[in-house]
Structures are given as structure tokens and as C-alpha cells.
């Protein structure tokens, strides 16, 4: 039978996972998918992801590609994969694509979202998905700084030590900070004196969303940490421009915690 190339769209809750890439210890998304696919394909397979999300990072629309030779229908593969996978990893869609398709190398852009809960009381149903900042944040200053990232820049100030790429130049198509409606359970639902808690204490859920042709390891989390420093008033929004002009990693903000980061989607031609 001729080989088939499958495109998988996957969603996962990354709290307990070691990230996308298979590792010697702990469960990875790649490892779980390969384990679930092997009996269906009749032999071991290698699954390629569009991006290597780190431990604790979540995905709403990760994309993977894999070559198989099995004759199962797409519907059967879809059902069988979800039956084999743990409930915190779900295959949303299975499609057969051109053999030249590669989840990583065919990608044209990725979108990430980082969630910051700005308030004193975060729902117990949400703490795994946000970075809680108690002190007030200046949303306008954060938005001004975020927009400075649009374009092609040198991102050395947001590059982790030991990263594999030889260049830190990346192109950002969209970058912005806004209030976010959440997932239904993210905002507190307790009521005090007839007023919802998020209105009572001024709490807000903020989302930093960025679309780019590619990202360095920890880049989005480093940007999020820098934006929070600006929101706290530790630096003006113009600080972001100076970091893009020859800044070093030690000059920028701390790397934000993993649990607030989501890979939202991957775009292809």
C-alpha cells in the first residue's frame, strides 16, 4: 500500500505533560501520539509537530504530520486515536494531505496567547491557565509596547540561552494586549453583595496575543514577562523599543510561567 500523509490537529491541557517533544522521562504529546498510532499503522511511526511547546504549556490548535501505510478510514483513525489517548490530549481533526506537507516546515505562521489574571482572587478552576498578578497593570502601556514588536526585528533580548537557531531575527505580523472573555470558568463567579468578584475588586483577564512566522524558545513567555514589568510601571513602554535595538536577555523581563501560554493555531498556505 502507498504511504499516506496525515495532518492532525490536536488540543491538549499541558499541566502534567513534559511538553510536545518525547523525552526519556514523563509523558509528551509526541510520544503519546506515536504510541497511539503505532498499532493502527502496524509499525512504529514518527510524528512531527508544528512547534515544540514546553512543559506546562497548552495548545488549542497544535498541528502534527505523520506518514502511515494503513488502510483505515480517516473516521476510524480519528475515533481510535481519541480512544487510546488520555483525556488531556484530544485529536480534533484528521486529514489526508499531500506527501510534501510537513507540520513544521510547511507552516507559514503561528499564533500564541498568554493569559494574565490581574486581580486578588483567581478561580480554582483557572489557576492552571493564567499568571496571576495582584497589583494593577497599565493596559494602555502594555498595548503600546506590544505593538512595537510588529515587523522584522532582532529578538536576542527574548532568546533563551542555548537555543538552537543561529539567528534571533523573527517577523511578527500581529501583537497586542487586550481584555479577554475567558473560557467560562476562568473568571471568578462568587458574588459579594450582589456584585461579581471580578467587578468588585477590579479583576481583569488580560490576553497577550502574537502571530509570527516563527518563534525562539521561551520567546513569547519572555515577552509576556517584559510586558508585565511595563504594566507594573517598572519601565516605560519605550523600553520595549530599546530591547529590540541590541538588547540582551538579561536586559528584558523575567520569563513568564508556562501555565499561561497557549498555542492557538498554526497557519498554512
* Active site residues per annotation: 54
Rounded to whole angstroms, how far apart are CA atoms 157 and 241?
A: 11
Amino acid at each position: 500500500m502507498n504511504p499516506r500523509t496525515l495532518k492532525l490537529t490536536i488540543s491538549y491541557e499541558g499541566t502534567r505533560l513534559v511538553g510536545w517533544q518525547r523525552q526519556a522521562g514523563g509523558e509528551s504529546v509526541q510520544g503519546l501520539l506515536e504510541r497511539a498510532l503505532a498499532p493502527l499503522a502496524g509499525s512504529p511511526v514518527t510524528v512531527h509537530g508544528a512547534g515544540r511547546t514546553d512543559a506546562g504549556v497548552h495548545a488549542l490548535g497544535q498541528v502534527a504530520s505523520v506518514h502511515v501505510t494503513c488502510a483505515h478510514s480517516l473516521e476510524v483513525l480519528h475515533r481510535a486515536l481519541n480512544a487510546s489517548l488520555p483525556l488531556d490530549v484530544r485529536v480534533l481533526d484528521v486529514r489526508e494531505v499531500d506527501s510534501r506537507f510537513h507540520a513544521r516546515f510547511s507552516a507559514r505562521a503561528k499564533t500564541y496567547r498568554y493569559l494574565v489574571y490581574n486581580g486578588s482572587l483567581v478561580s480554582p478552576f483557572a489557576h492552571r491557565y493564567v499568571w496571576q498578578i495582584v497589583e494593577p497593570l497599565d493596559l494602555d502601556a502594555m498595548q503600546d509596547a506590544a505593538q512595537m514588536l510588529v515587523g522584522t526585528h532582532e529578538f536576542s533580548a527574548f532568546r533563551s540561552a542555548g537555543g538552537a537557531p543561529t539567528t534571533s531575527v523573527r517577523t511578527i505580523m500581529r501583537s497586542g494586549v487586550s481584555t479577554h472573555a475567558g473560557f467560562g470558568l476562568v473568571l471568578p463567579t462568587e458574588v459579594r453583595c450582589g456584585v461579581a468578584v471580578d467587578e468588585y475588586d477590579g479583576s481583569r483577564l488580560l490576553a497577550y496575543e502574537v502571530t509570527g512566522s516563527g518563534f525562539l524558545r521561551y520567546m513569547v513567555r519572555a515577552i509576556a514577562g517584559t510586558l508585565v514589568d511595563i504594566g507594573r510601571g517598572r519601565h516605560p513602554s519605550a523600553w520595549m523599543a530599546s530591547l529590540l535595538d541590541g538588547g540582551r536577555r538579561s536586559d528584558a523581563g523575567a520569563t513568564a510561567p508556562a501555565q499561561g501560554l497557549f498555542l492557538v493555531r498554526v497557519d498554512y498556505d
